[in-house]
Structure 1
Amino acid sequence: MSLTELPVSDNLFPGFRLLDVQTPGARIRVRVGGEGPPLLLLHGYPQTHALWHKVAARLRDRFTLVCADLRGYGDSDKPPTDSAHQPYSKRAMAQDVAQVMTALGHERFCIGAHDRGARVAHRLALDHAGRVLRLATLDIAPTREMYANTTDAFARAYWHWFFLIQPAPFPERMIGADPEAYWRKKCGSGSAGMSPFAPEALAHYLRCFADPGTIHGSCEDYRAAATIDIRHDDADGGRKLAQPLLALWGADGIIGKCFDPLALWRSRAQDVRGHALPGGHYLAEEVPDLVAAEFTSFFGEAA
C-alpha cells in the first residue's frame, strides 16, 4: 500500500491533509487531520467525505479524523463490477477502508458513519471485529432488516432503493441524462431542503456525481445491498456485533417513522443505544453541533 499527498484546493477541511491511499483493491481518497484517538468517518449516498466538514471542525481537537470516499464515490476508484456485484459489496468496501486505516498506522479505531457508509461500517465491524472499538450510525437501520420490513410508506419515500437496483444500464442512463437535477431531487426532498449543504460542499458533491463512473458505482452499491450483502448477512448465522453501537436518526426523517431503529439494531448488535435528533436525513450537515456532541461523548468512553 502507498500514500500520495495531494494539493488542497478547497476550504472544507482547514489544516487537513488530502491523500490518495492505494490499497490492494482500490485507490481511496481521504482527508486526515486533528489529534487524539483515531475516528474513521464514512459518508452516504450520493455524497462524499465532504459531508463531514462541519463535524470535523468540531472534533479535530479531540480525535484524529480520517474521512474517506468509499469506492465508487467521490474521487476514489470505481472498479469494474461483476454479475454478482461483489466489487461493490459492503465486504469489499469495508476491506478498502480497513486497509486505509492500516496504511495510516491505526490498528484499532472507532467509526462514525452516515447512510451507505454506515452499512459499510456495520460489515467492517463484523469482518474486522478486533479492530473496531465502537460504531455510531446516522439515520439507518440494518439493510437486510429494512428490506424485510418494507412498507408502502417506506417504498414511496425511499423510491431510489428500488430504482437503483434495476439492471444496468437503465438507472445509469436515466440519471446520466441530468445528474445535477437527479442529485437535487434526491437530496432536496427532506424537511430542510437544500439548506444544510454549504455552497462549497454542494459544488464538490455535484462535480463528483457528474462522473458516469460515480453514477454506475453508486448504483452497484445498491445492487449489492439487495443481493450479495444480504447473503453475507445470512451467512453470519445470527452473529451480532459485540462493539457498543450508537444509533442516531432524524426526527423529521423516514427511518424512525417507518421502522423501530433500536429494535432492528438490537437484532444485529448486543449493545445498542440511541435516539432521534432534530432534523432530517443529513444530520451531519443539519445539526453538526449535536452530532459532534454525541460522538464526543460516545467515542470518548472508548479512551
Structure 2
Amino acid sequence: MDALSALMPGFDIRRVDAGEVTIRAAVAGEGPPVLLLHGHPQTLVVWRKVAPRLVAAGYTVVAADLRGYGDSDKPAGGPDNLDYSKRAMARDQVALMRELGFDRFAVVGHDRGGRVAHRMALDHPEAVERLVVVDIAPTATMYARTDKAFATRYFWWFFLIQPFDLPERMIGYDPEYFLRRHLAGQSATPGAVEPEAFAEYLRCYRDPRTIHAICEDYRAAAGIDLVHDAADAEARVTAPLLALWGALGVVGQSYDVLGTWREKALDVAGAALPCGHAVPEEAPGPFTDAVLAFLRRGNV
C-alpha cells in the first residue's frame, strides 16, 4: 500500500482527465456528491480525518488535488499567471466532477480551495448546490483591508507573489524547513499533522514544479483573480454558503468573517471552531458535524 492509500483507506485513488489537466482524486462512498478542495501547503490528504466520516454519513466524497498541487498536473503559469487563476482551477474541478458523473454537487474548500470554490460558485452556479468556505474571507476583501498585522502574520501572501524566480529559489534551497515552519505557524493544535501526513506533504513540496505552481497560484490571486473579482463585484453567490473558521487563527481574529461573506453571497451561515487555520486537521469532529448539518439543512 502506498502512502496516500494508507492515509486515505477505502478510497479509490485516481488520475482523471479534466480536459486542460489531469487531476488526482480520492473517491469513495455512495449518495449525494461532495467535492473537497484543500489549501496551501497541503494536498487532498488534509481531508484524511474528515472524508471517512462524510462517507459513513451517506455521501459520495471526492477529495481532489488542485492543479499544481499534490499529484495533479502542473502547467507552467502562462501570461498573467492565467494557468493558476481561480477561474481555471475551478474549471478543472467542475470537469473532474462531470467526468465522475456528477453535474451538481456540494463543494467544501479550505484556504486556497475555498477561493477556488468561491469562483466556482460564481462561474458555475448550475453545478454548485452548496458551498462551504473554510478559514478565509474573500480574496479581494483581504487585500483591500490589509494592515501591518495581517501582512506580518500572512507574510507569504506578499512573498510568494514576487517575480520568478525569487521565491522559488529561496524555498527550493530548503523546502522541508519552509514547509515545517509554515504548517507550524498555521496550526494552534500541536500534533494535528501526524508524521505520515507531513511526509506526504513534503514529498509533493520537494518537487520544484509544485513550488513554482504555488507561487503562480498566489501571483494569480494578487493579479488576474482581482481583475475577475472586480468584474463580478456586484455578483452574489446564490448557493447556500457556510463559513467556518478557526477562532484562534488570523482570519478569525482579523475579520468579521460572516460579514465579509454576506457582502458576497445571498444565504450565509457560519461559526468559529476552537482551533487555528488548519481546521480539518485541528478540529475534524466539530468541523465534520457542522458540515453535515449544513449539507442536510432543508432535506427531509
Separation in structure 2 between the aligned mates of residue 188 and residue 181 of structure 1, nearest angstrom: 11
Q: In structure 2, which of residues 34, 48, 52 is the aligned counterpart of residue 53 of structure 1?
A: 48
**Alpha carbons of structure 1 residues 302 and 49: separation in structure 2 relative to 1, 3 Å:** farther
**Alpha carbons of structure 1 residues 178 and 147: separation in structure 2 relative to 1, 3 Å:** same
**Alpha carbons of structure 1 residues 75 and 302: separation in structure 2 relative to 1, 3 Å:** farther
Q: Does 1:13 align with 2:36?
A: no
Separation in structure 1 between the aligned mates of residue 99 and residue 218 of structure 2, nearest angstrom: 28
Q: In structure 2, which of residues 141, 147, 157 is the aligned counterpart of residue 151 of structure 1?
A: 147
Q: How does 1:134-283 map to 2 (within 5 A)?
A: 134-192=130-188, 194-283=190-279
**Are the aligned partners of 1:151 and 1:258 in contact in 2 as well (CA < 8 Å)?**
no
**Are the aligned partners of 2:5 and 2:11 in contact in 1 as well (CA < 8 Å)?**
no
Deviation at 1:40, TM superposition (A): 0.2
Deviation at 1:191, TM superposition (A): 5.0
Deviation at 1:193, TM superposition (A): 5.5
Deviation at 1:57, TM superposition (A): 1.9
The equivalent residue for 1:34 is: 29
* Matched positions, count: 298
Q: Identity over the aligned pairs, expressed in percent?
A: 52
The equivalent residue for 1:22 is: 17
**Are the aligned partners of 1:187 and 1:194 in contact in 2 as well (CA < 8 Å)?**
no
Q: What is the SS of the residue equivalent to 2:35?
A: strand
Deviation at 1:23, TM superposition (A): 1.7
Residues 223-274 of structure 1 show CA distances to partners (whole Å, capped at 9, x for unaligned) of: 0000100100111141100111110110110002111111111111111111
Separation in structure 1 between the aligned mates of residue 104 and residue 214 of structure 2, nearest angstrom: 28
Deviation at 1:194, TM superposition (A): 5.0
Q: In structure 1, which of residues 109, 117, 122 is the aligned counterpart of residue 118 of structure 2?
A: 122
Separation in structure 2 between the aligned mates of residue 125 and residue 73 of structure 1, nearest angstrom: 21
Deviation at 1:147, TM superposition (A): 0.2
Residues 107-146 of structure 1 show CA distances to partners (whole Å, capped at 9, x for unaligned) of: 1000111000000000001100011011011100000000
**Are the aligned partners of 2:103 and 2:127 in contact in 1 as well (CA < 8 Å)?**
yes
Separation in structure 1 between the aligned mates of residue 249 and residue 67 of structure 2, nearest angstrom: 26
Q: What is the SS of the residue equivalent to 2:240?
A: strand
Separation in structure 1 between the aligned mates of residue 162 and residue 298 of structure 2, nearest angstrom: 41
The equivalent residue for 2:108 is: 112
Q: Which amino acid aligns with 2:40?
A: Y
Q: Which shifted more, 232-241 or 112-121?
A: 232-241
Q: What is the SS of the residue equivalent to 1:192?
A: coil
**Alpha carbons of structure 1 residues 246 and 42: separation in structure 2 relative to 1, 3 Å:** same
Residues 79-107 of structure 1 show CA distances to partners (whole Å, capped at 9, x for unaligned) of: 12123000000000000000000000001
Separation in structure 2 between the aligned mates of residue 194 and residue 211 of structure 1, nearest angstrom: 26
User: Larger % of helix: which?
Assistant: 2
Q: Where has structure 1 moved over 4 Å in runs of 4 or more?
A: 6-9
Mind listing any 5+ residue stretches in structure 2 that lack a counterpart? none
Separation in structure 1 between the aligned mates of residue 252 and residue 292 of structure 2, nearest angstrom: 23
Q: Which amino acid aligns with 1:13?
A: M
Q: In structure 1, which of residues 260, 283, 290 is the aligned counterpart of residue 286 of structure 2?
A: 290
Separation in structure 2 between the aligned mates of residue 146 and residue 233 of structure 1, nearest angstrom: 12
Q: What is the SS of the residue equivalent to 1:84?
A: helix
Residues 48-72 of structure 1 show CA distances to partners (whole Å, capped at 9, x for unaligned) of: 0000000012111221000000001
Q: What is the SS of the residue equivalent to 1:72?
A: coil
Q: What is the SS of the residue equivalent to 1:123?
A: helix
Separation in structure 1 between the aligned mates of residue 14 and residue 2 of structure 2, nearest angstrom: 9
Q: Which amino acid aligns with 2:242?
A: L
Q: What is the SS of the residue equivalent to 1:166?
A: coil
TM-score (norm 2): 0.96
User: Larger % of strand: which?
Assistant: 1
Q: Does 1:102 align with 2:98?
A: yes
Separation in structure 2 between the aligned mates of residue 54 and residue 193 of structure 1, nearest angstrom: 15
Q: What is the SS of the residue equivalent to 1:269?
A: coil
The equivalent residue for 2:75 is: 79
Separation in structure 2 between the aligned mates of residue 255 and residue 278 of structure 1, nearest angstrom: 13
Mind listing any 5+ residue stretches in structure 1 that lack a counterpart? 1-5
